[in-house]
Every structure is written in C-alpha cells, then in structure tokens.
Amino acid sequence: MSDVAERVRKVTARLLKVKPDDVKPSSHFVRDLGAESIQSIELVAAFEEEFDIEMDQDEALAVQTVGDAVTFIEKVIAEQHA
C-alpha cells in the first residue's frame, strides 16, 4: 500500500469512526462506510490538511470510493507539489 493510500485509510477511519481494516480501496464512502453529506465535506477538508493540497471541491466530492480518492489525491499532489 502506498504512503498516500495508508494515510487516506487512517484519515477516513478516524473521521468516519470505522476500523482501519474496514477501509479498503473498493469501499464506497457512503454505502460501505456510512459517510453523510457533512462528513464528505469534512473528509475532503481533512485530506487537504493531511496532504497540504487544495482540491477542487466539486471534483473531490464526486469521488465515491477510497481507491478513487487515493488516485485523485495522488494526481493533485503531483500537480501542486511538483
């Protein structure tokens, strides 16, 4: 698991109050992990803080699974920390 994936897993588990082992790349934030709309906003903010990035909120909130979040964040890191 990449460093980004591990940190995404930890942030997600902490914010959504689920076990880290339950956070898998295929996990759907809403359906599998129970994220409510406000928690989705919190998650995006927490990822921005964790990785010191600024994400397009519309695009970030459209991401549905943990694996897609990792891919999206890696792309933003590459753009903003290059």
Partner 1 sequence: MRLIIYEDETFDNFSPLTLLRATFELRCGATTLAEKLQRIAPWAPVAYFAREALAPVLRERLDAPVNDPASLRGDDLLLVNGRLLLLDAAQFPVGGPDEVLACGGTVIGARVSQAVAEAAAADAPAELIAALGAAVPTRQVTGTVVSYMWELIHHNPVAIVADFKAAGHAGIVGTFSDHATVWGSKEQVYVAPTAEVHPFVCIDTKGGPVTIDEGVVIHPHTRIEGPCYIGRGTIIVGGKIREGCSFGPVCRVGGEVEESIIHGYSNKYHDGFLGHAYVCEWVNLGALTTNSDLKNDYSTVDVYLKGELTDTGDTKVGCFIGDHTKTSIGTILNTGTVVGVMCNVMATGSVSPKFIPSFVTFLNGKFINIAFRATMATARTAMSRRKRTLSDAEAALLDAARALTKPERDKCIRRSRDHGPAD
Asked whether position 76 contacts partner 1 by CB under 8 A, the answer is no
Question: Who's near 80: CB < 8 A, 6+ residues apart?
Answer: 53, 54
Q: Considering only 6-14, 25-33, 52-60, 73-81, which stretch makes contact with partner 1 by CB under 8 A?
A: 52-60
C-alpha 37 chain-centroid distance:
14
The site that binds partner 1 (CB under 8 A) totals a number of residues, namely 12
What count of other Cβ atoms lies within 10 Å of the Cβ of residue 9?
Answer: 21
Asked whether position 42 contacts partner 1 by CB under 8 A, the answer is yes
The residues binding partner 1 (CB under 8 A) are 38, 41-42, 44-45, 48-49, 54, 57-58, 60-61
